[in-house]
């Protein structure tokens, strides 16, 4: 970027005197800019023509001329950023912003939050880490899961304030009396983000590709075939009835991308840029449902903005700040909630712990003072009292004089709050004569974790989507945790129970059956929730339509900005 190079050269000239007029020779100025005397003369002419400085040379070799600065590097950088942003040159803006963190925060503040760019509304969100490329099937990151729901569409979908699946790519569906044949009727006016019309055969092809993924195959284990009986219809033929099918198809993992391009969807927003330091999505003009009110959403991946003194955004993204991170306390909290998702503790069966020891251990861990004394922000977590609303944690008789094994192993993965939890548990068990070995799996799920078979105790994070009961069924169906945690007989019995629950057409009956499954898992000291997160979104005045969803984010299609003249 030539303009950035010129700015850097100007800054080299400016720094020694911090903008005060100086007298210097051409040779001295060339030394500051690491260039030849001929080049520095050309540079001075260009900078003078641009109105950045004045240079009054004196005749004679070695004579000192006078250099006067008319602007500061900071003002130049800010005006350049504004210029390239108005031109839509987002990468150039980020290049301009790569300076010291304390300067970066000051420089970016005017550009984050809600902005009108070229007369179109744009929302810019500072984010603490690079986003992983979106891929078909399950993804570990909450931000990626939410983003997939904005970029891709499924045959069905979930909407805010409803746990029931709604039409999406399919406008209606029908099920046979025996529950073994499901017809999904596809809209006739669908378009991919490329402008290409969606063909039903493409959706069928992508669905079949999804079923080759092991976790997705476990989720759709009842599906026998996916057929296309008509140009605008897909038919699912099942081995056994599965009345969770519309829920399974509405989950983010079942969103459909183009069979030849996993980044191309037909959702409300299309991917315009997906880079390590900038992700930009833009509204899809041919979207088949209600169109977004914003033109674009940008994630500015700027880890330097997130100082540990500024709150939790730099450690766990449950408190999202749209806009000036320096002024976090001044932003307007627009939405907050307690997450349905939770961090959990699980105990391996047929391992080192007897059933009584497992209960003893869970009683120790579930003591609220253990969680309440974690060295994390008070506003970040809250101890769990139920798995999801209405599914209470069972109470046991207080166990005493139950000796724990002399040595145990605890395996845990992200989020980082489980670091503190693991240390607390180790400290409590040491007082009881049990030495706890801690193993950290640096990931957001159990994929590729070689230590799963060696652990006695496990801790992880369970995200809960828009349909809590179904999301927990999906967890039991798909997560590799369960066959490693349970004995072979227990796992086979669990899957058989899930099969028996899914055949009921009545939603309430399936919910009750699933509640019984988890009540049993908690009562037998196999798994227990530990704590939930306090989700919060803060935004500057003028950013409207933001309401927390189940992922701790907000529906990008509902956010809006008033025009600048009336904001």
CA distance 22 to 362: 72
Higher-scoring residue by pLDDT: 204, 5: 204
* Burial class of residue 144 (count of CB atoms within 10 Å of its CB; 0-12, 13-18, 19+): middle
For every residue of 163-207, DSSP letters joined together read: -S-EESSEEEEEE-TTS-EEEEEEPSS-B-TTSPBPPHHHHHHHH
Least confident of 274-278, 408-412, 559-563: 559-563
* Burial class of residue 98 (count of CB atoms within 10 Å of its CB; 0-12, 13-18, 19+): exposed
**pLDDT at residue 59, as a whole number:** 74
Question: How far, rounded to the nearest angstrom, does the alpha carbon of residue 69 sit from its chain's CA centroid?
Answer: 45
pLDDT digits (tens, 9 = 90+) for 382-397: 888 899 989 999 887 7
* Burial class of residue 25 (count of CB atoms within 10 Å of its CB; 0-12, 13-18, 19+): middle
CA distance 235 to 229: 7
Higher-scoring residue by pLDDT: 100, 491: 491
CA distance 29 to 23: 10
- For the whole prediction, is pTM greater than 0.75? yes
Nearest in space to 224 (alpha carbons), one of 179, 290, 164, 161: 179
Question: How far, rounded to the nearest angstrom, does the alpha carbon of residue 52 sit from its chain's CA centroid?
Answer: 43
pLDDT band at 71 (very low <50, low <70, confident <90, very high): confident
CA distance 206 to 268: 19
Checking if the pLDDT of 331 tops 80, the result is no
**pLDDT at residue 109, as a whole number:** 53
Checking if the pLDDT of 107 tops 70, the result is no
pLDDT band at 64 (very low <50, low <70, confident <90, very high): confident
pLDDT band at 286 (very low <50, low <70, confident <90, very high): very high
For the record, the structure tokens of 552 come out as 């701790």
CA distance 313 to 305: 10
For the record, the structure tokens of 515 come out as 């509640």
**pLDDT at residue 312, as a whole number:** 37
Averaged confidence pLDDT in the chain: 84
Nearest in space to 67 (alpha carbons), one of 47, 86, 81, 87: 47
CA distance 185 to 235: 9
pLDDT band at 314 (very low <50, low <70, confident <90, very high): very low
3-state secondary structure 381-409: EEECCECCCCCECCCCCCCCCCCCCCEEE
Checking if the pLDDT of 264 tops 50, the result is yes
CA distance 483 to 346: 13
Angle at 543 between CA 540 and CA 545, to 5 degrees: 135
**CB neighbour list of residue 272: distance below 8 Å, 6 or more residues apart:** 280, 281, 282, 296
**pLDDT at residue 14, as a whole number:** 85
pLDDT mean over 349-378? 80
pLDDT mean over 147-173? 94
3-state secondary structure 456-510: CEEEEEECCCCCHHHHHHHHHHHCCHHHHHCCHHHHHHHHHHHHHHHCCCCHHHH
Rg (CA), the chain: 29
Nearest in space to 533 (alpha carbons), one of 310, 375, 376, 361: 376
For the record, the structure tokens of 11 come out as 């800054």
pLDDT digits (tens, 9 = 90+) for 455-482: 999 999 998 878 999 999 999 999 999 9
Checking if the pLDDT of 540 tops 70, the result is no
Nearest in space to 31 (alpha carbons), one of 11, 12, 3, 51: 12
Do residues 404 and 420 lie in contact, with contact meaning Cβ atoms separated by under 8 Å?
no
* Burial class of residue 60 (count of CB atoms within 10 Å of its CB; 0-12, 13-18, 19+): exposed
**pLDDT at residue 217, as a whole number:** 96
For the record, the structure tokens of 439 come out as 């193993």
């Amino acid at each position: 970027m030539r303009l950035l190079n010129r700015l850097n050269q100007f800054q080299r000239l400016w720094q020694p005197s911090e903008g005060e007029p100086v007298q210097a020779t051409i040779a001295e100025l060339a030394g500051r800019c690491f260039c030849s005397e001929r080049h520095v003369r050309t540079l001075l002419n260009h900078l003078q023509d641009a109105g950045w400085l004045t240079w009054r040379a004196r005749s004679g070799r070695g004579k000192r001329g006078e250099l006067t600065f008319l602007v500061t590097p900071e003002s130049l950088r800010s005006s350049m950023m504004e210029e390239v942003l108005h031109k839509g040159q987002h990468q150039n803006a980020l290049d301009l912003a790569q300076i010291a963190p304390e300067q970066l925060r000051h420089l970016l503040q005017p550009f984050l939050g809600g902005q009108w760019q070229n007369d179109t509304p744009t929302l810019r969100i500072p984010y603490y880490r690079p986003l992983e490329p979106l891929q078909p099937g399950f993804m570990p990151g909450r931000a990626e899961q939410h983003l997939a729901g904005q970029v891709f569409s499924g045959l069905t979908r979930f909407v805010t304030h409803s746990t029931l699946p709604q039409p999406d790519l399919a406008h209606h569906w029908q099920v046979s009396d025996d529950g073994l044949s499901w017809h999904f009727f596809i809209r006739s006016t669908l378009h991919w983000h490329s402008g290409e019309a969606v063909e039903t055969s493409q959706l069928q092809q992508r669905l079949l590709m999804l079923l080759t993924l092991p976790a997705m195959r476990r989720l759709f284990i009842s599906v026998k075939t996916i057929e296309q009986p008509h140009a605008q219809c897909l038919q699912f033929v099942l081995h056994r009835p599965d009345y969770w099918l519309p829920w399974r198809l509405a989950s983010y993992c079942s969103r459909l991308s183009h069979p030849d391009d996993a980044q191309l969807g037909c959702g409300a927003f299309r991917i315009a840029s997906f880079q390590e330091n900038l992700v930009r999505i833009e509204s899809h003009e041919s979207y088949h449902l209600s169109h977004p009110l914003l033109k674009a959403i940008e994630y500015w991946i700027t880890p330097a903005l997130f100082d540990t003194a500024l709150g939790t955004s730099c450690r766990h993204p449950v408190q999202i700040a749209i806009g000036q991170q320096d002024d976090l306390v001044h932003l307007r909290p627009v939405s907050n909630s307690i997450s349905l998702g939770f961090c959990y503790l699980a105990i391996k069966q047929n391992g080192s712990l007897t059933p009584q020891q497992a209960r003893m251990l869970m009683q120790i861990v579930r003591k609220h003072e253990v969680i309440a004394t974690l060295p994390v922000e008070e506003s970040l977590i809250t101890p769990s009292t139920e798995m999801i609303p209405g599914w209470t944690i069972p109470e046991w008789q207080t166990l005493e004089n139950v000796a724990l094994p002399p040595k145990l192993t605890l395996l845990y993965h992200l989020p980082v709050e489980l670091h503190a939890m693991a240390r607390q548990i180790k400290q409590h068990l040491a007082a009881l004569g049990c030495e706890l070995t801690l193993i950290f799996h640096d990931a957001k799920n159990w994929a590729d974790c070689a230590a799963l078979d060696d652990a006695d105790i496990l801790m992880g994070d369970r995200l809960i989507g828009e349909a809590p009961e179904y999301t927990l069924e999906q967890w039991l169906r798909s997560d590799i945790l369960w066959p490693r945690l349970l004995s072979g007989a227990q796992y086979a019995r669990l899957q058989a129970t899930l099969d028996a629950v899914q055949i009921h057409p009545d939603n309430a009956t399936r919910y009750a059956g699933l509640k019984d499954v988890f009540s049993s898992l908690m009562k037998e000291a196999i798994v227990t929730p530990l704590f939930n997160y306090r989700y919060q979104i803060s935004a500057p005045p003028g950013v409207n339509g933001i309401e927390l969803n189940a992922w701790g984010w907000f529906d990008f299609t509902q956010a809006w900005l008033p025009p600048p003249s009336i904001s």
